[in-house]
Amino acid sequence: MSRAVESLRIGNGAGFWGDNLDAPIRLAEAGGLDFLTLEYLAELTLSILAHQRRRDPAAGYVPDFPDTVARMIPLLKAQPNLRIVTNAGGLNPEACARATAKHLAGAGLGAVKIAWVTGDDLQPRLAELRGAGEAFGHFDAPERGLPGEFTSANAYLGAKPICGALDQGARIVITGRVADASLTVGPVMHAFRWAWDDWDKLATASLAGHLIECGAQVTGGLRTRWRGVPDFARIGYPIAVLSRAGECLITKAVGSGGVVDRESVSGQLLYEIGDPARYHTPDVTLDMTSVEIEDLGRDIVKVSGAKGIPPPETLKVSCAFANGYAAKGDLVVCGADAADKARACGEMILERTKLGGYPLARSEIELLGTEAALPGGFTADGPFAAYAAPAQALGAAGGMPPREVVLRVSAWDKDKAAVERFCREFSPLITAGPPGITGYAGARPKPRPVLSYWPSKVSRARVPARVDLKSAEELAAGPQREAA
């Protein structure tokens, strides 16, 4: 990309692993993008990938991404200037790069350069880092019941390695755990050549990345006034338009569903930020208190006024540790006194597990359909009081008791055998419980290993990033054991 570029269009087609599979395709089909970003990772996602890597060392990346690239091959051929930046590499960026390369090389795009960024995975270096004084939030604390070992530990890298990969000519950049907004900051810094200590410019780029990182949340998703969102089924995903001068617009593809206005942008602006005057990223500490939001109409919103100061000397670390086993099961309970019967059934499951010799460390009974998931329920003085009247009209609260309830019982224990016994206590209710039990035709619940999240931090000086780059043809020819 020429250093003389004056404006940049960056679209984000994924806000998490499991997001709309067609969103990246539709964004690219709309045309006009310089970069397509795909943000897949969250703390939960890393735990899922850690499970996969424990079963198969060749796994640990987001398999949706190579499949998405395969679908995009006609678009990549038709739009030779379109580049892709993603954190789909998860815990295994090189394997993700090789899987992606096979699709490209097989379609005649073997010359495409793919870069992968590593250095965020600290798990193999834990002993070294602890020896250097990194305490990881005093994780080794037997008195708190913590086991002292991580199954995964990933630092949040910033935009510099992404920018470096693009500088080397990469068309596709695959990272592990980088900060969400850095997926946008990297391309901006590559295109505009802003100084890495021009904190206000970095703040603008980070603000743009933050606004589009969650996909459709900024284009009408999760909107309280959701009935006014046009064509939800075809909701458009966001595009950030940035200028070399530091201006930023948020929009979406013309003709797509959803809405971009002051309400949608301000809602995403405040999403998961903590202190709005001190939003820490690996690239800059962003001050949002001076940000102005101007609705220009036609699904275009201008954001300006972001201020920045240097980032902290530490990087956030997302850690996971093995923490026992969990399971949950559902049954439908219907007929007269459905809620009472459902609760009695839940208590029977737990009591029978205990009688079998396995008192569970933690358990939960939920009656879905009785407002059990809402704090305070639909009471006159509760937080959902405005909905009390319609709820009562449906017989949900204060009126006729519900005649159909979904019973959900969950359990956790360090002993897998205890959770297995719990799973076996659902089926007996078919004939050894109250009448009206249904919804049992599927397989019984199964215990699953639990990986719990532990947030920490590490000195950035101890986390060097590495960029590797090869052509798709070279990567496809290299050895790779297929992920299970």
Same domain (yes/no): 62, 134: yes
Say whether both 282 and 144 belong to one domain.
Answer: yes
Q: Is residue 256, in this structure, part of any structural domain at all?
A: yes
Asked if residue 306 is part of any domain, the answer here is: yes
In a domain, 227, yes or no: yes
**Residue 325 domain flag:** no
Beta strands in 88-190 (DSSP E): 113-118, 152-155, 172-174
How far apart are alpha carbons 382 and 384 in whole angstroms? 5
312/347 same-domain check: no
Q: Which whole number is the average pLDDT over 314-331?
A: 95
Residue 484 has pLDDT above 80, yes or no: no
- Same domain for 90 and 141, yes or no, is yes
Q: What are the C-alpha distances in Å from 186 to residues 165, 191, 464?
A: 9, 9, 16
Would you say residue 483 has pLDDT above 50? no
Q: Is 326 within the bounds of a domain?
A: no
The verdict on residue 440 lying in a domain is no
Confirm whether 449 is domain-assigned.
no
Residues 46, 122: one domain?
Answer: yes
Residues 297 and 349 in one domain: no
Mean pLDDT, rounded, of the chain: 92
Which residue do the tokens 């999760």 mark? 222
**Which tens digit of pLDDT belongs to each residue from 370-387?**
877 776 655 556 555 555
Q: Count H helices and E strands in the chain, helices first.
A: 13, 19
- Please tell me the distance from the alpha carbon of residue 281 to that of residue 179, in angstroms, as a whole number: 7
Residues 310, 343, single domain; the answer is: no
Beta-bridge partners for 409: 329, 365
412-444: burial string, b at 16+ Cβ within 10 Å, e else: bbeeeebbbbbbebbeebeeebbebbeeeeeee
Domain membership of residue 146 (yes or no) is yes
- CA distance linking residue 13 with residue 36, whole number of Å: 7
Token digits of residue 320? 């996971």
| Percentage of the chain lying above the pLDDT 90 cut | 81
**307 lies in the same domain as 354:** no
Judgement on whether residues 167 and 303 belong to the same structural domain of the protein = yes
Same domain, 151 and 244: yes
pTM over 0.85: yes
Is 460 found in the same domain as 420? no
Does residue 473 share a domain with residue 431?
no
Read off the pLDDT of residues 38-92 as tens digits, 9 standing for 90 and up: 999 988 898 889 889 888 989 999 999 999 999 999 999 999 999 999 999 999 9
Alpha helices in 246-337 (DSSP H): 262-269
Across 190-218, average pLDDT:
98
Find the domain containing 283 and state its range: 7-318+456-477
Q: What's the domain count of the chain?
A: 2
Q: Is 457 helix (H, G, I), strand (E, B) or coil?
A: strand
Give the range among 94-108, 292-306, 442-456 with minimum mean pLDDT.
442-456
Q: What is the spatial order of strands in the sheet that 466-471 belongs to?
A: 292-297, 300-304, 248-252, 238-243, 7-12, 35-38, 83-86, 172-174, 113-118, 466-471
